[in-house]
Each structure stands twice: as structure tokens, then as C-alpha cells.
Amino acid sequence: MAGGWKLPENSINGTALSAANVANAHGADASYYNPAAMAFNEDGASFEAALTLIHLSGIEYSNPALSLSDETKVENIPVPSFHYVGPAMGNFRFGLSMVTPGGLSKRWKGFGKTSSEEFSLETMEINPTIVFKINDQFSMGGGVRAIYSKGVVKSDDQGPIFAASGGTLSPARDMEGDSWDFGYNLALHFKATDNLKLSATYRSKIGLTEEGTVTLSPSSLGLTPGLPTINTSASVSIPIPAAFSLAAAFDISDQTTVELVLERTYWSAYKDLDFNYPVNVFPYTSVFDDPAVKNWKDTNTLRIGVTHQMDSRWTVMGGFAYDKTPEPEYYVGFELPDSDAKIFSLGARYQYSDNLNIGAAFLYDKKDKLEIASSNSTLFTSATFEDAAAYLLTIGVNYTF
């Protein structure tokens, strides 16, 4: 996982290069990472089909001041991807990508269930693209982004933590929703010299407008049996943030290319987590209806990727990225206790035949230990979140015809 719930690794090369795959994108996945670069693909059409297996380690939480500790469940998530670039049609070329641009799954075992017994977000993006080749050096492209998303939010208090109306509330929440939402992406590609390629890409913000149903009820602990059970419709909006990238790829030899990417992600679009209901949900108003302030910050990510063609059959790749968290310490929540990350990746492709190559890649995303030394907006005084990490394994095939 990148900072927040963004997932930029959506192809073999994307995983192998820590998503430093923009200015040097030249296969079927150029349709997603840099549609302007499709203009300079080899003749003919190509497609790539891949599967990424994501393993999220358990996050350890401890709060000595309140004698609390907890741990998230381990998550194993399969994520498929598909990319296609068609043959040139004059100065135009068309592409299509089906990817997962973001996602999240956190399930706490104990005290964290108070707010995040489960907090899951699944997405699928369909991204048709087009490029216009202006000349032998310059091209511009773009596309339409259609995202289907599905969210699950469950909460179940594990103790009396909220007092209202002269009593103690220990409520539970069970919500599911989904939505279709739309945006766009743009790209420019410039072959400055035979050895240097420059690119700029932009993806618009897409607000995921989850709509579904919710049940609000007393805690499963039975601490407040007199509370009513409310079944109603509900909605919540969560952004897939806009992102702008500048990339440069330089051929230091006929066999080796180095790419640098500076990516700006506009996480400031995530101002609060606000669940909306068409009815009055008293006595749960203060617990589940009032907006939870987030005030996330825009972030910069630096990505470095190296591609080396060993011989006519084998190509090896490696990458590194430093990813800043967008989450202010004061607003850290159990649904996503995020921190800065260092990302390392390796991968290889094997040219099995003239038309078919096979690839595999591995990525390790290590989150820094998050120590909250002072009070924040919840109960995290002197709290620590640690041992968060993600492991990605991508395998796939690429075929040209």
C-alpha cells in the first residue's frame, strides 16, 4: 500500500519498479501509466494480464497510559490487472486498462473494534485511453476513468467509552455500500533526445460516493440493552485523490535505463469522514453521525526505477520509493494508522517467444513506527502503532500481435 489507500502498482513493471514506470512506459501498461507514451510502442497490438497478491501484516497497537493493546488481522488480497494497446491508426492509438487504483482493509481484534471492527474498501477502474502523436518527438494522450467501489464499515464497542443522555453508549454499526464514479487522466510525452524521455501525467480526483444500508444497534457486549436498533440507508464519500507526476527516463547505455518520478498526491481532498443518514439516528448521533475530522495533507513521493536488458531473453528491474504519509498525527484513526514508508522492489521478464513474455515482481513496503507522544482527537495519548508492512507479488504475461 502506498500512503493512504492509494495503490499505484498495477502491472508487472509497476510492481518491479516501485511505480517508476511513466517516462519509460513502453508496453501494454503504458495505457495506464502514461497513455501519451503509447504512440511510441512497437508496431502492432499488445496486452498484459497479471495478478498481484498483497499480504498486509498485522499492525501492533499499544497504549501504556490506558493499559490498552491490540492487533489487526493479517490480510491476503488478490488484485488482478489488465492492459491493452491497439495498433496505430494514423497518428492515433487506443488503449484500455482495468486496474485497482486504491483499496484498504483493516480489521482489529480487540479494543480497535470500537471504531474499526472492519474498514474495507474495494475498487475496480476501467480506463479507456487515446493518444495523438504530434510528431516523432511529442505526443499527448488521456482517458476516462470509471471506478466501481464497494465499502464495508463495522464497529462494535469493546467497553464503555461514550457518555450521553445520562447513560453509557456502547453501540455497534454495520454498513455496506457501493457506487460508480468518474474522472479523467491526461498525459504528455516528449523524446528530448535519443537517450532522454520526459513525461507529465495527471489523474483527476474521484469522490467515491458509497451508498447502501446500515444497522445501528447496542454493543454485542450487551452493556446497553435498552438502546434501539435502527435500520436505514446511509452514504459516505471517500476520495481517490488527484495526482500529478513529472518523470524523466535516461538510457545510460543500450541495455540500461534509469527513471526518476516525482509524484504529488492531493490528499488534502480528504477533510473528514462523514456518514450521512436520511433519518435522525439519536441516540447514536455523537458516535456515528458527527463528522470525524481528518484534514490530510498533500504529499510528495520520490520514485526511482532501473531497467536492464541482460540479453535477448532476460530483462531485470529494480525500484525504490520514499512515500510520505498524508495523515496528521492529531487525527490518526484506527481505520488507517498511516506513517512514512520506504518501498523496495525487484522483478524480471523472460522473452519466451517472439510474441510472448512472462514476468514476475516482488515489492516490500515498510512503514515507519508511529509514535503519538501527545493527545490527539481520539484516545491515542502516548500510543504506538508498529510492525505495519505490505508485501506484493505480481506474476503475469504480455503478448504482442
Query: Could you read off the pLDDT of 206-246 as tens digits, one per residue?
Result: 999 999 999 998 877 665 667 889 999 999 999 999 999 99
Residue type, 42: E
Residue segments in the chain with a per-residue pLDDT below the cut of 50: 1, 160-167
pLDDT at 163: 41
**What span, in angstroms and rounded, lies between the C-alpha atoms of 5 and 56?**
12
pLDDT at 165: 38
**What span, in angstroms and rounded, lies between the C-alpha atoms of 145 and 258?**
29
CB atoms within 10 A of CB 374: 9
pTM: 0.92
Burial of 299: CB neighbours in 10 Å, binned 0-12, 13-18, 19+: buried
291: three-class secondary structure by DSSP: coil
Name the CA dihedral angle for 295, 296, 298, 303, rounded to a multiple of 10 degrees: 180
Residues 6+ apart with CB under 8 A from 184: 142, 143, 144, 145, 204
